């Protein structure tokens, strides 16, 4: 039993030491659960960060857009230029067709020379289907047959090439063999030939670059405007609310929960502020509940420590009493040994006396001396037995006193058990409260953050789609504007051509009337085109203004949403820090609950040990009573032997007459001495049993004392842990 108690105490002590070390390490970890913020607040540079992001996005988006639009614009301008030369080719064909039907080839050649005077025209030739120049007696070849075949397949060709370091366009258009022309050219071929025009592209390239420079300048102005406007607008709508939120969260990270945060806004920023305020109130309630629980735990721990001190004092007193009892029992054992030796001698003397009595008729004097010696020895034996009886009585008193001490110790242990149970219940209640608050923060706070992130992400996706649609509309409007500008330029050029044609027709007189009619038609067409172009330009400018306004508002919305998403993410980090603190508090209270449960179990074992000691004390007391009864019997026998010895002494003068009576008396004495010897042997065996029982009680008392000291030490550590936790909780400020 004693070995089991030692082993169990060792395991409990090691587990308690491990749990306490873990608890203290956890308390050191959560000593400063909130990260400190150092340096400049994020809001001081938020506007410039947003401006940089906007600039970077515009650069990444507009860069490829400008390149693509430059390519498309160049392509569109070149396409319009090709269409313009198609019209010019058609005009040349119609001009020479009218005079050729009348057989006036010279006039047709003059008309071609007039067209060659136009500034953009570098070369103008009428080519036969075999590639030779028309109106040329030498029939100089100007086009390869392969080019003629390509022209027939495509109906028209535009060949871009370099000539003397300049880019030129060679435009080829077929002249169809109409019914009017078949009288001269026959019906064998559907084509009479082709018109070849070479023009310089320098003017076209200049127009393209001018247009691109205008677009780039407008884009730069828009970017600069956004870089100025966005930080100013963000400061009022986003930065200031963020500054308020960061100020409050910084105070919370320092342990100050007394500062409330409110906002009249109902948007995502308002929801974020409301969530932070709800979190602050929840933390205040948690801290108040933990403080109340800690007060109860501290009170219970104080009672527990007091009870353990009483238990220690009782155990120490029990050890001292056991030592005194052991000393007394050892003295009894010594005395009992002496008495046993004396009884042995007495037995031997009785045997010798009986032998002597048989011979006392011859030796009366010797018998008288032996009888006197026997009486003296009986007196000494009686004195020793009386001393042994007094020692046994003192032992009984000490045992009774020790039994009372054990009873008092058992009562103290019962009180300690009640205190430990109260500590365990308080710790269990604190653990439940901490778990409830932690669960509420995890379910409500984190859920609110996740819902806010999800809502803002959906809003951002919708805003991004809207921004993409607006950007597409803006690109389309700009493309239409460029096309309209090119159309206007073509109309202006067409008006100039019509004016030149009118002048040439006037110079040709009667022969130029047909050409004049064509020139008038071209002029009216160019005038109508210019007028329609102006109207389209006005409408497009209005649409572009609306689209730009929508695009600007949409970009602001997207930026605000992104900033709100970042803020909610930061709030999520703060929530996680708070959740870790709540979880650590719950772990600490659970540790206290577990420690008190183990202490209650250990105290229960102490109670069992004390009850065992009480039972053994009762057994010792019963054995001592039996020994006392044996001593009384021995004392009675000694008294009887003393009386017999006195009778022998008084009747020595009559020994000769009463030899038979003396012999009987000797036998009676021998019988009494044998009984005394047996009683002394039984008393010696009882003393040895008492000594072993007392040694066992002493060992148990020492074990209980060591266990009580360890429990006192554990109680002190538990009190220190509760005090440390109380200090950490009191670090939080919940009121102004």
Q: Flag whether pLDDT at 8 surpasses 50.
A: no
Q: Flag whether pLDDT at 118 surpasses 80.
A: yes
Using 50, 70 and 90 to split pLDDT, how confident is the model at 715?
Answer: confident
Low-confidence winner among 98-112, 277-291, 430-444 (lowest mean pLDDT)? 430-444
- Please state whether the predicted TM-score (pTM) of the whole model is above 0.75: no
Count how many residues are written for the chain.
736
Sign of CA dihedral 20, 23, 28, 31: negative
Q: Are 329 and 690 in contact, with CB atoms under 8 Å apart? A: yes
Low-confidence winner among 268-272, 320-324, 398-402, 540-544 (lowest mean pLDDT)? 398-402
- Bridge partners of 123? 198
3-state secondary structure of 136: coil
Mean pLDDT, residues 573-589: 65
User: Cα(342)–Cα(685) distance, rounded to whole angstroms?
Assistant: 17
User: Cα(523)–Cα(529) distance, rounded to whole angstroms?
Assistant: 10
pLDDT per position as a tens digit, 607-636 = 676 676 667 667 666 766 665 666 566 666
Write phi, then psi, for 31 (nearest 5 degrees): -60, -35
Residue 89: C-alpha distances to residues 85, 112, 114, 172 (Å): 6, 11, 14, 8
Q: Quick one: pLDDT at residue 3?
A: 42
Q: Quick one: pLDDT at residue 531?
A: 76
pLDDT per position as a tens digit, 451-504 = 656 655 665 676 576 667 657 666 766 776 776 677 677 667 767 766 776 776
User: Cα(383)–Cα(323) distance, rounded to whole angstroms?
Assistant: 27
316 or 591: whose pLDDT is higher? 316
Low-confidence winner among 536-545, 663-672, 719-728 (lowest mean pLDDT)? 663-672
pLDDT per position as a tens digit, 180-196 = 777 677 777 788 888 88
Q: Flag whether pLDDT at 221 surpasses 50.
A: yes
- End-to-end CA distance of the chain: give it in Å, rounded: 60
Q: How far is CA 645 from the centre of its chain?
A: 100
Q: Is 135 left (phi over 0), alpha (psi -120 to 50) or beta?
A: left
Using 50, 70 and 90 to split pLDDT, how confident is the model at 25?
Answer: very low
Q: Flag whether pLDDT at 22 surpasses 50.
A: no
With pLDDT > 90 as the criterion, what percentage of the chain qualifies? 0
Beta-sheet strand order (sheet of 121-128) = 121-128, 191-200, 166-176, 156-163
Query: What's the DSSP call for residue 33?
Result: -
pLDDT per position as a tens digit, 29-39 = 333 333 334 33
Q: Quick one: pLDDT at residue 374?
A: 54
pLDDT per position as a tens digit, 415-462 = 666 766 666 676 566 566 556 656 655 665 566 556 656 655 665 676
Q: Quick one: pLDDT at residue 505?
A: 65
Q: Which residues contact 9 (CB under 8 A, 6 or more apart)?
A: 602, 605, 703, 706, 707, 710
Q: Which residues contact 523 (CB under 8 A, 6 or more apart)?
A: 494, 495, 498, 499, 502
Q: Which residues of 317-332 are buried (b: 16+ CB within 10 A; e: fewer)?
A: bbbebbebbbebbeeb
707 or 75: whose pLDDT is higher? 75
Provide, for the chain, the percentages of residues in helix, strand and coil under a 3-state DSSP scheme, each rounded to the nearest 5: 85, 5, 10
């Amino acid at each position: 039993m004693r070995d089991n108690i030692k082993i169990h105490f060792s395991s409990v002590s090691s587990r308690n030491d491990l749990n306490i070390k873990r608890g203290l390490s956890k308390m050191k970890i959560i000593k400063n659960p909130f990260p400190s913020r150092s340096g400049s607040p994020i809001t001081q540079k938020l506007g410039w960060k947003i401006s940089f992001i906007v600039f970077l996005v515009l650069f990444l988006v507009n860069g490829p857009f400008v390149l693509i639009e430059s390519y498309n614009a160049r392509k569109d301008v070149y396409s319009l230029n090709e269409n313009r030369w198609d019209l010019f080719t058609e005009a040349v064909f119609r001009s020479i067709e009218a005079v050729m039907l009348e057989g006036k080839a010279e006039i047709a050649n003059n008309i071609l020379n007039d067209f060659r005077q136009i500034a953009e025209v570098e070369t103008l030739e009428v080519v036969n289907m075999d590639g030779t120049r028309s109106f040329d007696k030498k029939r100089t070849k100007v086009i390869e047959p392969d080019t003629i075949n390509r022209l027939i397949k495509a109906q028209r060709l535009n060949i871009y090439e370099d000539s003397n370091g300049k880019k030129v366009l060679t435009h080829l258009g077929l002249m169809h063999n109409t019914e009017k022309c078949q009288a001269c050219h026959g019906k064998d071929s559907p084509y009479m030939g082709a018109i070849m025009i070479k023009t310089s592209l320098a003017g076209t390239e200049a127009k393209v670059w001018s247009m691109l420079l205008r677009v780039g300048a407008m884009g730069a102005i828009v970017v600069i405007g956004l870089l100025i406007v966005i930080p100013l607008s963000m400061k009022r709508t986003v930065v200031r609310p963020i500054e308020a939120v960061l100020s409050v969260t910084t105070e919370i990270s320092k342990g100050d929960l007394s500062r409330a945060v409110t906002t009249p806004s109902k948007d995502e920023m308002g929801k974020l502020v409301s969530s932070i305020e709800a979190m602050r109130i929840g933390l205040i309630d948690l801290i108040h509940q933990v403080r109340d629980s800690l007060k109860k735990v501290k009170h219970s721990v104080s009672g527990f420590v007091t009870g353990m001190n009483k238990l220690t004092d009782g155990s120490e007193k029990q050890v001292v009493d056991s030592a005194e009892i052991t000393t007394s029992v050892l003295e009894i054992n010594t005395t009992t040994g002496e008495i046993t030796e004396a009884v042995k001698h007495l037995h031997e003397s009785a045997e010798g006396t009986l032998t002597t009595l048989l011979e006392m008729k011859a030796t009366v004097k010797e018998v008288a001396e032996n009888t006197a010696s026997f009486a003296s020895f009986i007196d000494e034996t009686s004195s020793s037995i009386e001393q042994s009886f007094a020692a046994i009585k003192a032992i009984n008193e000490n045992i009774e006193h020790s039994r009372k001490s054990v009873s008092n110790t058992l009562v103290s242990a019962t009180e300690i058990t009640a205190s430990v149970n109260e500590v365990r219940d308080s710790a269990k209640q604190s653990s439940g409260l901490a778990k409830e608050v932690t669960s509420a923060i995890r379910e409500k706070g984190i859920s609110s953050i996740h819902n806010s992130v999800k809502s803002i992400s959906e809003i951002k996706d919708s805003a991004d789609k809207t921004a993409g649609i607006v950007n597409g509309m803006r690109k389309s409007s700009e493309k239409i504007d460029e096309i309209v500008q090119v159309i206007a330029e073509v109309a202006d050029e067409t008006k100039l051509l019509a004016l030149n044609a009118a002048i040439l027709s006037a110079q040709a007189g009667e022969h130029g009337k047909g050409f004049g009619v064509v020139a008038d038609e071209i002029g009216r067409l160019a005038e109508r085109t210019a007028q329609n172009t102006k109207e389209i330009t006005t409408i497009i400018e209005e649409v572009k203004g609306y689209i730009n306004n929508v695009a600007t508002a949409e970009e602001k919305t997207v930026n605000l949403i992104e900033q709100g998403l970042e803020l909610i993410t930061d709030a999520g980090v703060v929530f996680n820090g708070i959740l870790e603190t709540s979880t650590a508090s719950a772990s600490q209270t659970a540790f206290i609950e577990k420690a008190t449960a183990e202490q209650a179990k250990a105290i229960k074992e102490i109670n069992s040990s004390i009850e065992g000691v009480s039972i053994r004390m009762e057994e010792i007391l019963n054995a001592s009573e039996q020994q006392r009864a044996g001593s009384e019997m021995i004392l009675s026998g000694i008294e009887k032997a003393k009386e017999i010895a006195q009778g022998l002494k008084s009747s020595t003068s009559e020994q000769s007459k009463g030899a038979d009576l003396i012999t009987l008396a000797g036998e009676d004495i021998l019988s009494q001495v044998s009984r005394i010897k047996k009683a002394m042997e039984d008393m010696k065996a009882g003393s040895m049993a008492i000594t072993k029982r007392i040694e066992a009680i002493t060992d148990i008392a020492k074990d209980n004392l060591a266990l009580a000291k360890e429990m006192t030490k554990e109680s002190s550590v538990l009190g220190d842990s509760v005090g440390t936790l109380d200090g950490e909780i009191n670090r939080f400020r919940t009121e102004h």
